[in-house]
Chain A
Amino acid sequence: MPRTISLQLRLQLWLGVFLTVLIGAFGYATYRLEAASFYHQTDHLLDSRVALVASDFRDSEHSLLAVRDADGGGTAPADGHPGPSPAPSFLPPLPGTVPGAVAAPPPDRPPVLLSPETLKLFSDDTRDRFAVWDAVWDANGTLLAASPGELPPGGVPDPVFPFPATARDTEFRHLTRGDWRIAFRFTETGDCVLVAHNIRSDLSRLAREALCIGAAAIAAVLLGLGGIAMIVRPALRPLHAISATARRIAAGDLSARIPETRTPRELAVLSADLNRTFASLDAAFARQRQFTSDAAHELRTPIAVILSETQLALRREHTPEEYRETLRTCEETAQDMRNLTESLLQLARVDVRAGGQAGHAPLDLLDLARKAAETLRPLAEAKGTELELPDTPCPFRGDRSQLLRLLLNLAGNAIEYAPPGSRVRILLLRTPSAITLAVADNGPGIAPADLPHIFDRFYRASRSRTRDSGHSGIGLALCKAIAEAHGGTLSASPTPGGGATFTAAFPLS
């Protein structure tokens, strides 16, 4: 079995892959949910702050207009707050060049007045506390106000970009730049209010959480793999039992069977099937062994005769008549052995073919009966036995030579055993369900003690009488094997009024 992976390993691999993907997806989803929840909360906070700054800014602009109307000049922020300053130098060029934007800031734009609450937001302590940075630009990109102190490293990008400065939709927008989470909004007047929140610590917290989730996932996968191994191994144990049994069978121990207890149902069915197969294999081998040993046994006696005869003849000088006697005995014995081996060969062939219907052809049993009668006629005439034949054709499907052998053996036996002057009948009967072939004689019949054994291989009724007439004790066994090879049965029964009837019945399916 080159390049195959064991079922156990394969199952473990696939279950492992499945488990890994599942736990990975779960961990990733957990992480994403965590991150999403964090951004949602942060954005919500930033949004409210943007809204606060924006509304304050708007109010301040209104009041500024009012102040300018009254003073004709700008005022400093109320509590000494630095107030708006030019855009910090780290900022990229403000989007004055954005197409469609107003080209230049109004040169006389007055400083923005922020309410103390808003200014407090811009103050250090709140900014530190929330790690936020606020800034306001006008529609032209001029920085109107910004939190003091250190600005986000890496810079707060131009919030207007990639949005057109003309946006006045008051929608909250969010984006992340480096460590900063930014929320911004364009007011109706085109000003942009931006709040940035440094999320470095949050990001590292998220990263830590991701690590934790990852570690947990890996632990779960490893645990799962162990669990899979623990489940798969015992689940496959019956398979090991099956293969172990098959190996024992292959090694020649035909009595080996798969244990069927404590086996899952699917495998129990398989085991039962295999055990049945093993059993029939065992039986077939046992039959074969029995047959071989029977055959050897049957050959021992004639061999003993030939050996003894020849050794006796060779021991010392004998008369020509004695040598002739020896040769005659040897010849007769050898003829017997030939008959025996012929019968054995035929039986072996029928046994081999018993499995299939190969060699079966349409034929007429009447034809075969006539042929058999023709062959047996001299024997029947010699014994003065009357041989009766049927006269209606009986079409059938089977092996011609085997069926002829069946008829010859049955009718030949009947003629041989029946006393001279008896009657032997061959009968053919066709019904819708079966074809019956019978050979009936009115001879002495079969002794009840012999009846159960007459189809056994090498069984001879009244052995001493039959052995010399060349019977191998295998003829009826051969007939039975032929009948069975044609899906039929062979049975013996007394003929009403005396004698024996052999009946071969072939059901028509």
Chain B
Amino acid sequence: MRLLIVEDDTRLLRTLNRALKEEGYAVDCAEDGEEGLRKATELDYDLILLDIMLPKRDGLSLLAELRKTKKTPVIFLTARDTADDRVKGLDQGGDDYIVKPFDLAELFARVRALIRRSRNEPSPNIVLGDVTIDTLSKTVIVGGQPVILTAREYSILEYLAIHHKRIVTRSELYEHLFDDYEDTLSNLLDVHVYNIRKKLKTPLITTRRGYGYTIDR
């Protein structure tokens, strides 16, 4: 999952960046409205956390502009707490609205819920045969036995599981799972997928040469 945070308070930006990365998301940051709009237009983020009061271009106008081309889920993250502000934010195309200061746990939950909703996945559990992926606790159970995956391995598995029955290209995986600052070595994905296969002990993920990966179940 790759997220974009648009927030002008560098300290909060830094903190959220760290927090969401620890949750296993790939995170990009933007400090003003223009930069945020540029990044949001360039990539298909899984979710955008958007402040409203931003330099250069405020969050509402950013979203209005973004909605012309993309349906990316957006959570407003703002200090404006009046009902008017909330209504305006949601009407403008926002999918959720979180008022600062917030609890990190709640923020995570809302992020998860919104990503789930945007995929039409009502349940936090994805069941693929004897493999169950709990997106809430980010754990994988195979045949009743928990399997320990690294955060990166888990997110690759989760992404493939969410998009099962279709081919996920390598570039799509890179786009959604690695952020701007990561060194994207070409064989990194192969190494991760190899490890996942080894740990799950089932041939869940199939490689389609020249295309990418897929889960057929």
Q: Quick check: is B9 within 8 A (CB to CB) of the other chain?
A: yes
Q: Quick check: is B104 within 8 A (CB to CB) of the other chain?
A: yes
Q: Quick check: is B10 within 8 A (CB to CB) of the other chain?
A: yes
Assess the A464–B22 pair: CB atoms within 8 A. Answer: no
Q: Quick check: is A126 within 8 A (CB to CB) of the other chain?
A: no
Bound CA span A300–B18, Å? 20
Assess the B22–A333 pair: CB atoms within 8 A. Answer: no
Expressed in whole angstroms, the minimum distance between the Cβ of A6 and any Cβ of chain B is 44
Closest to A460 in B: B55
Assess the A468–B15 pair: CB atoms within 8 A. Answer: no
Contact of A468 among B10, B18, B80, B99 (CB under 8 A): B10
B1-30 vs A, Cβ < 8 Å mask (1 yes, 0 no)? 000000011111011101100100000000
Q: Quick check: is B32 within 8 A (CB to CB) of the other chain?
A: yes
Assess the A304–B55 pair: CB atoms within 8 A. Answer: no
Assess the B11–A332 pair: CB atoms within 8 A. Answer: yes
Closest to B16 in A: A308
Assess the B55–A308 pair: CB atoms within 8 A. Answer: no
Q: Quick check: is A45 within 8 A (CB to CB) of the other chain?
A: no
Number of interface residues of B (CB under 8 A): 26
Closest to A310 in B: B104
B200-213 vs A, Cβ < 8 Å mask (1 yes, 0 no)? 00000000000000
Q: Quick check: is A292 within 8 A (CB to CB) of the other chain?
A: no
Closest to A322 in B: B18
Q: Quick check: is B217 within 8 A (CB to CB) of the other chain?
A: no
Q: Quick check: is B44 within 8 A (CB to CB) of the other chain?
A: no
For A468, list chain B residues within 8 Å (CB): 10-11
Given contacts A307-B102, A309-B15, A311-B105, contact A297 B80 (CB under 8 A): yes
Expressed in whole angstroms, the minimum distance between the Cβ of B168 and any Cβ of chain A is 29
Assess the A308–B15 pair: CB atoms within 8 A. Answer: yes
Assess the B104–A308 pair: CB atoms within 8 A. Answer: yes
Bound CA span A316–B53, Å? 32
Bound CA span A305–B53, Å? 16
For B8, list chain A residues within 8 Å (CB): 463-464, 467
Contact of B79 among A297, A309, A316 (CB under 8 A): A297
Assess the A303–B22 pair: CB atoms within 8 A. Answer: no
Most buried by A among B11, B81, B100: B11
Closest to A333 in B: B11
Assess the A301–B15 pair: CB atoms within 8 A. Answer: no
Q: Quick check: is A489 within 8 A (CB to CB) of the other chain?
A: no
For A333, list chain B residues within 8 Å (CB): 11
Given contacts A315-B22, A464-B32, contact A300 B100 (CB under 8 A): yes
Q: Quick check: is B101 within 8 A (CB to CB) of the other chain?
A: yes
Q: Quick check: is B183 within 8 A (CB to CB) of the other chain?
A: no
Bound CA span A449–B2, Å? 35
Assess the B19–A304 pair: CB atoms within 8 A. Answer: no
Q: Quick check: is A462 within 8 A (CB to CB) of the other chain?
A: yes
Q: Quick check: is B31 within 8 A (CB to CB) of the other chain?
A: yes
Bound CA span A311–B107, Å? 11
Contact of A301 among B55, B79, B103, B104 (CB under 8 A): B79
Number of interface residues of A (CB under 8 A): 24
Closest to B10 in A: A468
Q: Quick check: is A222 within 8 A (CB to CB) of the other chain?
A: no
For A467, list chain B residues within 8 Å (CB): 8-10
For A464, list chain B residues within 8 Å (CB): 8-10, 31-32, 55
Assess the B19–A308 pair: CB atoms within 8 A. Answer: yes
Most buried by B among A303, A304, A332, A463: A304
Q: Quick check: is A312 within 8 A (CB to CB) of the other chain?
A: yes
- List residues of A (296-329) whose CB comes within 8 Å of B's CBs: 297-298, 300-309, 311-312, 315-316, 329
Bound CA span A302–B7, Å? 13
B86-109 vs A, Cβ < 8 Å mask (1 yes, 0 no)? 000000000000011111110100
For A302, list chain B residues within 8 Å (CB): 11
Given contacts A311-B103, A315-B104, contact A463 B55 (CB under 8 A): yes
Assess the A300–B55 pair: CB atoms within 8 A. Answer: no
For B105, list chain A residues within 8 Å (CB): 311
Bound CA span A442–B101, Å? 39
For A462, list chain B residues within 8 Å (CB): 55
Assess the B15–A305 pair: CB atoms within 8 A. Answer: yes
For A298, list chain B residues within 8 Å (CB): 79
Assess the B22–A312 pair: CB atoms within 8 A. Answer: yes
For A315, list chain B residues within 8 Å (CB): 22, 104
Closest to A311 in B: B104
For A306, list chain B residues within 8 Å (CB): 101
Expressed in whole angstroms, the minimum distance between the Cβ of B56 and any Cβ of chain A is 9
Assess the A301–B12 pair: CB atoms within 8 A. Answer: yes
Q: Please, could you name 5 A-B residue pairs with CB atoms under 8 Å apart, sorted by A?
A: A304-B101, A305-B9, A305-B12, A308-B15, A308-B102
A-B interface, 3 closest residue pairs, ranked by CB to CB distance from nearest: A300-B79, A304-B101, A303-B101
Please give 5 more A-B residue pairs, beta carbons under 8 A apart, in addition to A301-B79, A464-B32, A468-B10. Answer: A300-B101, A303-B101, A304-B101, A308-B102, A316-B22
